[in-house]
Amino acid sequence: MPSMRQSYTVTVPEEPPTAAFPFHKQDLRRKSPQISRSMLVSTFVGLLINQAKNSKNAQGLVGLRNLGNTCFMNSILQCLSNTHDLRDYCLRNCHLTDLNKSCRAKAALMDEFAKLTQTLWTSAGNEAISPSDFKTQIQKYAPRFVGYNQQDAQEFLRFLLDGLHNEVNRVVGRPRVPVEDFDHLSDEEKGERMWSKYLEREDSKVVDLFVGQLKSSLTCNECGFCSTVFDPFWDLSLPIPKKGCGEVTLTDCIRLFTKEDILDGDEKPICQRCKSRRKCTKKFTVQKFPKILVLHLKRFSEPGRVKTSKLSTFVNFPLKELDLREFASEHSTTAIYNLYAVSNHIGTTLGGHYTAYCRNPVLGEWYSYNDSRVSPMSSSQVRSSDAYVLFYELAPSSRM
């Protein structure tokens, strides 16, 4: 198996290549004394990325070898490789400046993930790549992935993003955050304060892209008092409603996730005003939308950790302009998303296979990633009853 150590790593040459910097070293010193080493690296890598974009053999259309029931891993890796901002973060080696010095793993996971992404996008040929070096690091971080048993793709994604975040967390030695009373603040102010406190401990490129904030409202049915809690989320696990027609929409799933729930009986919480257990109404809304929204369709029933059955309901989801404004805490919030990747699960709980459908961020076309095989596909083929994890990117018009 070829080693991922062959992947491209940017270094600063002693003499900048003539094609990249059409001037002599003496002229550089005389005319541009303010040019820094980091600027040279940025320019040099930018040229390489542009070259990759223009190369027919370096467009991220490279498969990943199945090492033995590792299709779940390959599916998620291809989805992340086609995440535009994360891809560029790796191609430009920006993670090297974000490495957390206190991380005991010495950023080995982030390093291998970046090398794998670089190889997928700068490979000179179309031969499938072995992700064995990456697998070695992810199983060191999360021992549950040791061996070659089939695993859940969404669980793998959570562990991977958590591991990458920890290694490039800009916060060194997470400080203890004192408990503060924010009940006197408006919900908007409270949400902002809670988000700021979260960033005091968790702040990375991964957080910049994938983390949003949920608002949970609890209203006492006796006195009407409403308490709010704000929590970060990395993805949303959506229940699939049951309908007679056998087909539902993604909006139906999100409405079911955010619908009001009555907490009664043994579930009665303590009302802060009544000071006793009361029947309450609970509801979720989105306070802060992430740049990358990951939506997990809950197809598997899991009493304990054993998947006993799978829902094959067709969930109709939009490829463009997913409008989530009705689920926002503040209705003035603009939240329009475009789909760019899907992790699919084919089969049953007894035996299945993962693939990925991704829209190439350079070409703008959709491709099917089935382990070693990569093939073009029509956008009309993206929706299927096998869709399991959806990756949406905030539309440019929604970014503030």
pLDDT per residue over 73-93, tens digit each?
999 999 999 999 999 999 999
Say yes or no to pLDDT of 25 above 50: no
pLDDT reported for residue 305: 55
Alpha-carbon gap, residue 210 to 161, rounded angstroms = 9
Name which of 44-58, 125-139, 173-187, 312-326 the model is least confident about. Answer: 44-58
- pLDDT digit string, tens, across residues 209-219: 999 999 999 99
- pLDDT digit string, tens, across residues 195-207: 999 999 999 999 9
Q: What percent of the chain has pLDDT over 70?
A: 80
pLDDT reported for residue 307: 65
Say yes or no to pLDDT of 37 above 90: no
| Centroid of chain to Cα 37 | 31
pLDDT reported for residue 41: 45
Average pLDDT rounded to a whole number, residues 34-40: 48
CA atoms within 13 A on the CB side of 149: 9
Say yes or no to pLDDT of 3 above 50: no
Residue 388 buriedness (CB in 10 A; 0-12 / 13-18 / 19+): buried
The model's confidence at residue 9, banded by pLDDT at 50, 70 and 90, is: very low
Average pLDDT rounded to a whole number, residues 103-120: 86
Q: What share of the chain is helix, strand, coil (3-state, %, to 5)?
A: 35, 25, 45
Which is catalytic among the residues 84, 94, 103, 353?
Answer: 353
Name which of 88-102, 175-189, 202-216, 323-337 the model is least confident about. Answer: 175-189
| Centroid of chain to Cα 282 | 27
Say yes or no to pLDDT of 39 above 80: no
Number of H helices, E strands in the chain: 11, 16
pLDDT reported for residue 187: 84
Give strand ranges (E) for 222-306: 226-233, 236-238, 247-249, 261-263, 280-288, 292-297, 300-301
Average pLDDT rounded to a whole number, residues 284-308: 85
Paired tokens of 199 = 């960033």
Which is catalytic among the residues 71, 79, 220, 253?
Answer: 71
Alpha-carbon gap, residue 279 to 265, rounded angstroms = 8
Say yes or no to pLDDT of 186 above 80: yes
95 assigned to active site? no
Give the residue, 223 or 8, on which the prediction is more confident.
Answer: 223
- pLDDT digit string, tens, across residues 228-258: 999 999 999 999 998 767 789 999 999 999 9
The model's confidence at residue 26, banded by pLDDT at 50, 70 and 90, is: very low
pLDDT mean across residues, the chain? 84
Task: Quickly tell me which residue has 């994890």 as its tokens.
Answer: 389
pLDDT reported for residue 33: 40
Paired tokens of 36 = 């820094």
pLDDT reported for residue 146: 94
Say yes or no to pLDDT of 43 above 90: no
Say yes or no to pLDDT of 23 above 50: no
pLDDT reported for residue 89: 97
- pLDDT digit string, tens, across residues 123-157: 877 899 999 999 999 999 999 999 999 899 999 99
Name which of 136-150, 164-178, 295-309 the model is least confident about. Answer: 295-309
pLDDT reported for residue 153: 96
Q: CA quadruple 101, 104, 106, 107: dihedral positive or negative?
A: negative
pLDDT reported for residue 47: 55
**DSSP-H helix ranges across 55-104:** 71-81, 84-91, 95-98
Contacts of 29 (CB under 8 A, 6+ apart): none
Say yes or no to pLDDT of 22 above 90: no
